[in-house]
Amino acid sequence: MMSDRQIIEGCAKHERKAQQVLYDKYSRFLLGVCLRYARDKAEAEDILQDSFLKIFFNIKDFSGTGSFIGWLRKVAVNTAITHYHKNLKYRYHIEIEEYVSVETGVTSFEEDFFTSDELYMVLNELPTGYRMVFNLYAVEGYKHKEIAEILGIDTNTSKSQYSRAKAVIRDKLEKLGKLRSSYPENG
């Protein structure tokens, strides 16, 4: 088993074996990241491929300080953002009903009530702009100001999109929860 250091050195020399090991070790984690930004798995896999190309060609830029996995994640997130910009013209304008949502109801959820698959599904169904903002803010932990810069939108837009995204997600989770409780697990 190669260590991360060996993998990085091998990839910097463009060794095919090191590249393969890097892929085998981190592709599942990175696809997990990409899928949060995509509409479906196929789109996520496209982003994943591009991410790996960037990783392989730019691995020498990884300073060695800081976490390698964090660097990988950053590359994947940046690739997803590039992908978002590239495909912006293909996105549909979202209908008003999608974001008019009442801000009431449950605000707290049990951690283990939803599976990660369900959460992915909820994210994939979001309008792309919401998904980007929500991911960057909630999961990646960017500030609204940073997100606004990255996506080329207004800071207030980022804020309002985040809260609308949250409202839509809450709505969807509640529906999912109701569906769950109306069909109790009966083995």
Partner 1 sequence: MSIRELFRQKLENAEIIPDASVSLKLMRKLARREFLRFNPARFNIYYLGGILVAGITASLILFSGSDKSGERSPLPVSGEFSKTDSTIYINVPVELTVTQKSDKLNENAFESIKNKPIIRPKVEPGKEPAQNIESRENNSVTHTGVNDSFSKKGLFTEASLDKNKLQRGFRTDEVLFETSATKGCTPLKIRFYNKSNSYDSCRWTFGDGGYSNEKNPEWIFDVEGEYKVVLNVFGSDGRRATSSSVITVYPKPLARFEIAPEKAVLPEDEIRFFNYSTNAVRFKWDFGDGSTSELFEPLHKYAKFGNYNVGLVVSSEYGCSDSLVAFSSSEYFIDFPNAFIPNPEGPIGGFYSSKSDEAAQVFHPIFSGVSDYQLKIFSKLGILIFESSDTNIGWDGYFNGQLSNPGVYIWKARGNFRNGKPFIKMGDVTLLRN
For partner 1, the binding residues (CB under 8 A) are: 14, 19-20, 23, 27-29, 31-32, 35-36, 41, 44-45, 48-49, 52-53, 56-57, 95-97, 100, 107-111, 114, 116, 119-120, 123, 134, 137-139, 141, 166, 169-170, 173
- Nearest approach in angstroms of CB 151 to partner 1 is 17
- Nearest approach in angstroms of CB 186 to partner 1 is 25
Residue closer to partner 1 by CB (options 77, 81) is 77
Residue closer to partner 1 by CB (options 19, 155) is 19
Three-state SS for 34-91 is HHHHCCCHHHHHHHHHHHHHHHHHHHHHCCCCCCHHHHHHHHHHHHHHHHHHHCHHHC
| Nearest residue to 131 (alpha-carbon basis) of 84, 86, 173, 95 | 84
Spatial distance between the Cα atoms of 40 and 126, rounded to a whole number of angstroms: 11
Residue closer to partner 1 by CB (options 109, 143) is 109
- Nearest approach in angstroms of CB 42 to partner 1 is 9
- Nearest approach in angstroms of CB 148 to partner 1 is 16
Residue closer to partner 1 by CB (options 44, 75) is 44
Spatial distance between the Cα atoms of 2 and 24, rounded to a whole number of angstroms: 11
Residue closer to partner 1 by CB (options 2, 138) is 138
Burial class (CB in 10 A: 0-12, 13-18, 19+), 114: middle
Spatial distance between the Cα atoms of 15 and 56, rounded to a whole number of angstroms: 10
